[in-house]
A and B are shown apart, each in its own frame.
Chain A
């Protein structure tokens, strides 16, 4: 069995700061991490490989230093890592990203064998669109299973897979055929620590680095900014509300401050008083 997992390198959001004057993101020195949602996809892929045998290839599109992200995935136990990097990919939106990644997956299929399953995370914490997975599925004509919370059954001989999928108001149990694309829901598993052996192997392993051309991409107009139907026209900081917040005076006794706050709340929303009284009576 061959599984491809798409992982993205993202800035560690917990450590991002915005420049107080220019309001731009200060990226310098911000550490990068594997997109947290992608770890659930990777762990699920590794579990399937451990059960059924085969190989897990991790794939990322990003700047050259995204190699670190891939190496990290190797320490968790991935078998092979492919970095798709080229200046032509700069400025890609989801349509262009799914084009680049699906082209690379097609190339991976040629060189290392066709994948039975492609995994992506539910969404990234920077792009945050949850659209790249469905985009890849459509382009590669893979059956699409999004928001998967459990893989109930994988029948490699019969070429079928059954999963549980989070949907609005409940869980759908679905069965489809391979090859399929799965976007994995968060909180569905815990990333393993990775063994010493994997750590040693990862340190020595070679990350496969492909340019657009290496990935077999001929039509560069489908890549990067040129291949992106959407463009960011304006970036701005939201202004304060026209009317400034009413600041409640802090008195030495918290009790008095609280009473002033209640006055402020109920003078603005008179109906709430009756609503809350009713709620309390019901308690």
Chain B
């Protein structure tokens, strides 16, 4: 990832990009779009399916194959994962199976993925920007000495078939598009929920190319002593909620967050906040929505007292319906909200909560308002 551009950098970088050289001969063999499929404890991380959906579009544009890379232990979970990748659009799958790959560890996973890349040479390699994906992507990109664009919000191929990876840039309402010149594969990570989940279509298992892990346990220095699953694992969470209500600095104080929570409760929704709310200590980090917090894709998103900076916008843009409540009619959030109200959120939220109760369960008013 390129650092934040200095004021003069866009022009300078642009001129270098326009000098784009012919791709070195040895990289011309690099073809096809790959998605690294994250499997842990037999479960595929949903971000991998989201990426297969996105990878399918890129592969179609390039007229190449979409391949899934599955790395894991020789068991049912790994085999199911391979089968699933075909239902989500993969044309073929590369599989590295070995008992050493039972749990994620940087060393054997880096080795496995790097070896498959070096052997079968993809043009584009996408990974989820999860704790696992980021741990792995940095090691693999450095081993291959290629470029890596982190946390992209948009992927496309341009006229000369190179990957155009777009992400927010530091410090303002700006996005930048990044290219990997003269190196292959072009690597990018994307955070969960940024891309839409493609439809699952029942398909038979297609071509699977297996690759051996060239390692023994003694080669691996890091040992796993234990794994403690999160207590609330599997519980509905912010990223996957159908309705989200969030508050920003415009709420004016920590105590007013009750209004956001109250509305969320009545809607059976999750609640969240903007980053400064976390920085002020009004809410914990788990509630942060945006580029450096959670990305959400609810059916309904209600944002109260949030200005709509790019880092917030990219985290909520996938919502089907965005409702913004803000006192400033020029707030950037009205550029991407579907429905807007220019009013004081602190005064309006109680009326809104009440309106939902009146409309949907008038008999339970006292109980719900509590």
Which residues of A are interface residues toward B (Cβ below 8 A)? 11, 13-14, 16-18, 23-25, 27, 91-95, 97-98, 125-135, 137-139, 143-147, 162, 166-177, 186-187, 225, 228-241, 243, 245-248, 250, 254-255, 257-259, 261-262, 264-265, 268-269, 271-273, 275-283
Contact = CB atoms under 8 A, between A and B. Distances in A.
Contact of B5 (A17, A235, A237): A235
B141 A131 contact: yes
Contacts of B342: 247, 250
Contact of A174 (B38, B134, B223, B337): B223
Interface string B132-146: 101101110111011
Contacts of B132: 167-168
A171 B227 contact: yes
Contacts, number: 337
A175 B223 contact: yes
Query: When A and B form their complex, which 7 residue pairs have the shortest distance between CB atoms, in order from nearest?
Result: A279-B268, A134-B138, A18-B172, A229-B147, A258-B355, A254-B351, A240-B335
A269 B321 contact: yes
B176 A235 contact: yes
Interface in B32-81: 38, 40-41, 45
Contacts of A257: 341, 343, 348, 351
B7 interface: yes
Chain B CB count within 10 A is highest, among A27, A95, A228, A250, for: A95
A93 B360 contact: no
Interface string B310-354: 100100000011011000000000111111111100011011101
A262 B359 contact: yes
17 contacts: A93-B147, A129-B150, A132-B138, A138-B143, A147-B135, A169-B41, A228-B147, A230-B2, A241-B336, A246-B339, A246-B340, A254-B347, A268-B321, A279-B268, A279-B269, A280-B268, A283-B266
A229 B338 contact: no
Contacts of B343: 250, 254, 257
B178 interface: yes
A135 B310 CA distance: 28
Contacts of A172: 103-104, 224, 226-227
A91 B137 contact: no
Contacts of A269: 299-300, 320-321
A95 B142 contact: yes
Contact of A93 (B2, B135, B341): B2
Contacts of B361: 277, 280-281
Interface of B: 1-7, 9-10, 12-14, 16-17, 38, 40-41, 45, 103-107, 110, 130-132, 134-135, 137-139, 141-143, 145-151, 164, 169-183, 221-230, 233, 242-243, 265-269, 276, 279, 285, 291-292, 299-300, 310, 313, 320-321, 323-324, 334-343, 347-348, 350-352, 354-357, 359-361, 364, 367-368
Chain A CB count within 10 A is highest, among B131, B139, B359, for: B131
A95 B13 contact: no
Nearest to B153: A238
A127 B321 contact: no
Contacts of B177: 232-234, 236
Contacts of B9: 91, 232
Nearest to B367: A283
**Do most interface residues of chain A lie in helix, strand or loop, or is the interface mixed?**
mixed
A131 B148 contact: yes
Chain B CB count within 10 A is highest, among A25, A126, A127, A265, for: A25
A120 to B, nearest CB: 11
Given A14-B276, A143-B221, A168-B132, A138 B139 contact: yes
B180 A230 contact: yes
A98 B230 CA distance: 33
A175 B273 CA distance: 36
A210 to B, nearest CB: 20
A230 B179 contact: yes
Contact of A236 (B134, B175, B178, B355): B175
A173 B103 CA distance: 12
Contacts of B147: 93, 95, 228-230
A283 B265 contact: yes
B242 A275 contact: yes
Contact of A248 (B266, B340, B359): B340
Contact of B300 (A241, A255, A259, A272): A272
Given A131-B138, A231-B13, A265-B339, A170 B299 contact: no
A173 B225 contact: yes
A66 B58 CA distance: 41
Given A231-B2, A246-B338, A134 B139 contact: yes
Given A144-B106, A268-B338, A23 B173 contact: yes
Given A229-B146, A247-B339, A280-B268, 7 more contacts: A95-B148, A168-B38, A175-B223, A175-B225, A234-B177, A250-B341, A257-B351
A25 B106 CA distance: 37
B13 to A, nearest CB: 4
A236 to B, nearest CB: 6
Contacts of B267: 276, 279
A264 B190 CA distance: 33
Contacts of A262: 355-356, 359
Given A126-B171, A268-B321, A167 B104 contact: yes
Contacts of A261: 323, 339, 341, 352, 355
Contacts of A94: 1, 138, 141, 148, 150
Chain B CB count within 10 A is highest, among A132, A232, A276, for: A232
A282 B41 CA distance: 32
Contacts of B149: 230
Contact of A258 (B226, B348, B368): B348
